[in-house]
A = this chain, B = another copy of it.
C-alpha cells in the first residue's frame, strides 16, 4: 500500500493565511470527492509574528520537522516593518524572507520552476496580440551561484570600505539543471502533442524541432561561470538532438521577453538571473496574481519540495479579505501534480484544480471579487 501523502502548510505573513485558507478548502473538497490518501498539518512559522515572539523566524528544528512531509505549501513571507522607521523598514524583509532560502538550501531544492503561460482572463501587459501565445517554463538554478552568501565587508562603514560577494558555480549543479531543462523540454513537447498542439523551433543549422531550450548567461562579462555553463550546455545538448538550442545574454533575454516572449519554450538560467527572468515572465503572463513558484528536489525523495505563489505578503491589503487567491490555487494545483508522480489520483486532482482555476479566471476577468468569493467559485467547479 502506498504511503499517505503529507503536506506541511505554512501560511506565513500578510495575505498568506488568507489565500492559504482557500487552498486548504480546495484540498478538503478534492480529498473528500476523490478519497485521496492525503493529509496536512499547519505551522505558525516561518513568519514575522513568530520572529517577533521568539527572535527567530522559525524554530531551530524547523527543517527536521518539515522534512517529515512530502511537500511544503507556503503562503507568503515578508513584512516590510514600520515604514516610519527606516532602519527596521530596510532590514526587516531580509530577516523575514531568510527562511525561504534556508528551506531551498536545507532541502536541496535545486530547481526553481516557474511556468509562464498567458491564460485567457489574465491581465495582458503587452500591446502585441501574440502575447496570448506566451507559454514558457523558466527553470532557475536554485542551489548555488550568486546566492551562496559568501563574501564580506572590509573596513565596514568607512569611506574605504570594500564589499565582496562571491559567486560559486559547480559543474555538477550546472549539469543537473541543464539536463533538467532538456528533460522538461521533451516533456512539454510530448504534452503538446497529446493536447493536439505543436510548436516548432529552428536549430542553428536549420533543422526543425518541437521544443527548445534557451540558455541564459552573461558570458561576455561574467566569463568564468558563463563559459562553464556554455560548455556544459553544448555537451548535454548533444544527448538531446530532438531539442533545439539557443543562447541569450541576460540583458538581451529581458529585452526579448518583452519583444517576443511567445518565441521561448524552456529557459534555463542561474539563480540571480533566473530570479529576474522569472519575475519578468510572471508579469508578462498576467502578473503576480496568477504566478506559481515551485522549489523542487527531483532527486532525493526524502526531501520535501516547496510550493509558493510568486507574489509577496502584500501587508497593505492583509486581513481584509481582498487578496486574490488565484496564484495560490495555481500553486496548489502544481503541488498536487508534483505529488501525483507517486499517486495518479492526486495528479488527476491537481489537473482538475488547475482547470477549475483557469476556467474561473477566464470567466471572471475584470470583476472585483473577494478572497473567499473567488475560492468558493473555484470549489464549486470541482
Contact = CB atoms under 8 A, between A and B. Distances in A.
Contact of A161 (B228, B258, B279, B288): B228
A279 B251 contact: yes
Contact of A272 (B161, B169, B205, B218): B218
Of A89, A163, A259, A280, most buried by chain B (CB within 10 Å of CB) is A163
A214 interface: no
Given A166-B166, A205-B84, A225-B163, A93 B220 contact: yes
Of A158, A280, A284, most buried by chain B (CB within 10 Å of CB) is A280
A52 interface: no
B175 A168 contact: no
A169 B175 CA distance: 30
A162 B222 CA distance: 14
A224 to B, nearest CB: 4
A199 to B, nearest CB: 22
Contacts of A156: 228
A221 interface: yes
A283 B253 CA distance: 11
Interface in A145-187: 146-147, 149, 151-153, 156-172, 175
Contact of A169 (B94, B149, B162, B258): B162
A165 B225 contact: yes
A221 to B, nearest CB: 5
Contact of A94 (B175, B220, B225): B220
Contact of A164 (B168, B255, B280): B168
Nearest to A162: B170
A2 interface: no
Contact of A254 (B83, B276, B287): B276
B127 A255 contact: no
Contact of A86 (B86, B222, B234, B255): B234
A346 B23 CA distance: 64
Contacts of A247: 90
Nearest to A166: B166
A125 interface: yes
A124 B126 CA distance: 9
A220 B99 CA distance: 11
A250 interface: yes
B204 A84 contact: yes
14 contacts: A83-B204, A84-B205, A90-B234, A125-B258, A153-B228, A161-B170, A161-B228, A162-B168, A163-B169, A164-B167, A167-B167, A218-B275, A255-B283, A255-B287
Given A149-B223, A153-B228, 5 more contacts: A161-B170, A163-B224, A163-B228, A255-B282, A276-B276
